[in-house]
Amino acid sequence: MDNKKIKSIIESLLFIWGEPLGLKDISDILEMEEIEVEKILNDMIEDFDHNDRGLKIVRIKNNYQLCTRPEHDKWISKLSNQNKTKSLSNAALETLSIIAYKQPITRSEMEAIRGVRCDKAVQTLLDRGLVEERGRLEKLGRPIIYGTTVEFLRYFGLEDLNDLPPIQDLEIEDDGLESMEE
């Protein structure tokens, strides 16, 4: 099979599956090495972007999924009268940011940073499937610890957690603290 044929098969697979499809699954179906398939998929992502196709392939962890281009929303939304899902509140977003960078983290640690209770925000995030319980901390009270989900990556269009905006840039400011400590 030449690459062209393989690409066209993968495109069909992604279309039918709809949900994120694992690299391993695709490789198993094609009876090919994962490393080969990954190369072809990376090629496809570029092809789709380069040729301004109506669809694009996104990668979430080791999964691939077809979706529409955000710039086409103007037209696609005319097909549907339904309201979109509500955006997250500022409280939920603040809480989610803390969880994303500090996971696994307990609720009281989030509350220490935000200075307000976070139970409602955490519940919203759990309901939306953006965070999940990761077990309990073996210390007094055995508090639940939380982390982000794959759905979190998909929701914000991130490939993995390394795609989050770098927080180091903000840490430079810590230098200012040292002068205060003296």
| Edge-to-edge order in the sheet of strand 144-148 | 105-106, 144-148, 131-136
Residues 110-139 that bind other proteins (CB under 8 A): 113-117
Other CB atoms within a 10 A radius of the CB of residue 44 amount to 21
Q: Which is nearer to other proteins, 31 or 182 (CB)?
A: 182
Site string for other proteins, 21-60 (x = CB under 8 A): ----------------------------------------
Q: Which is nearer to other proteins, 120 or 136 (CB)?
A: 120
Q: How far is the CB of 101 from other proteins (least distance, A)?
A: 7
Determine, following the binding rule CB under 8 A, whether residue 172 of this chain makes contact with other proteins. no
In terms of DSSP bridges, do strands 131-136 and 144-148 run parallel, antiparallel, or are they unpaired? antiparallel
Which pairs with CB-CB distance under 8 Å and at least 24 residues apart come from 13-19? 14/57, 14/64, 14/65, 14/66, 15/66, 18/65, 18/66, 19/65
Question: Whose structure tokens read 């003296």?
Answer: 182
Q: Which is nearer to other proteins, 36 or 163 (CB)?
A: 163
- Residue closest to 121 by CA, chosen among 156, 93, 153: 93
Binding residues for other proteins, rule: CB under 8 A, are 15-19, 65-73, 76, 84-85, 87-88, 90-91, 93-94, 96-98, 100-101, 113-117, 154-158, 164-165, 167, 170-171, 173-174, 176-177, 179-182
